[in-house]
Structure 1
Amino acid sequence: MSVTAIGTYDFPAKDVRENFPAPLLYIGWEDHLMFCAPFCLPLPSDMPFGALVENVLPGACGDHPDFERIDWGQVQWFKSGQPWQPDFGKTLAENGLGHKDVIRFRTPGLTGIRGSCS
């Protein structure tokens, strides 16, 4: 994001990778307003993408009544707003995910609680 400052804007950024226990990854679930914004999670670069889906997302999104109904084979993934296909067997880094990247997923046929986002 660009900044227009009226004075000198000269200080170190506080959100650099070195200031966190692991790279931050933003993860959002399209059409599910129970989660109003993407989650921001520190996740190790060497975590397999499949572990993110199997071990992390249930804790982050599992309270939503649609979560158990997700067909992960039909999920549409987006990286920085563009269609993207992760490899579940490769690490987050091998999938090209780095500090402060944003991924979102859409679950066809599931559009919020009782279709509230359709």
Structure 2
Amino acid sequence: MSTVALQPYDFPAKDVRGNFPAPLLYIGWEDHLMFCAPFCLPLPPDMLFGALATQVLPGVFGAHPDFARIDWSRAEWLKSGQPWQPDPAKSLADNGLGHKDVIRLRTPGLTGIAGSCA
């Protein structure tokens, strides 16, 4: 839906990379409605993608009973809504992730508490 400004709409954006301690990355977990929207996290661009599963996501999604059951070898990733295969041994930046990118995690066989999203 587009909008029309009634007067000049000229001001500097407040969400530029330089206004944050690290690039912002939005991370969502498909079919897990305990988390209604992707989390927005400032993550260093040199962090290895594989560190997300071991160092970041447990603190974000670990309260969900399905989190401990994730088979990371079967995890499916989406980047901006498109299937995407990150390299866990490469950094976030080397995987092509930049400021305000959106990634989503899909975990086959896990569809919310007691299969509530099946």
Q: TM-score range by the shorter chain?
A: over 0.9
Residue 29 of structure 2 corresponds to which residue in structure 1?
A: 29
Distance 1:2 1:27, change over 3 A: farther
Residue 76 of structure 1 corresponds to which residue in structure 2?
A: 76
Residue 61 of structure 1 corresponds to which residue in structure 2?
A: 61
C-alpha separation between the residues in 2 aligned to 1:116 and 1:23? 33
Once the two structures are TM-superposed, the CA of residue 86 in structure 1 deviates from its matched residue by 0.3
Distance 1:2 1:86, change over 3 A: farther
Distance 1:40 1:2, change over 3 A: farther
Percent of aligned pairs with the same amino acid: 77
Once the two structures are TM-superposed, the CA of residue 26 in structure 1 deviates from its matched residue by 0.0
Residue 15 of structure 2 corresponds to which residue in structure 1?
A: 15
Count the aligned residue pairs. 118
Residue 47 of structure 1 corresponds to which residue in structure 2?
A: 47
TM-score, normalised to structure 1, is: 0.97
- Unpaired segments ≥5 residues, structure 1: none
Residue 97 of structure 2 corresponds to which residue in structure 1?
A: 97
C-alpha separation between the residues in 2 aligned to 1:72 and 1:16? 32
- Unpaired segments ≥5 residues, structure 2: none
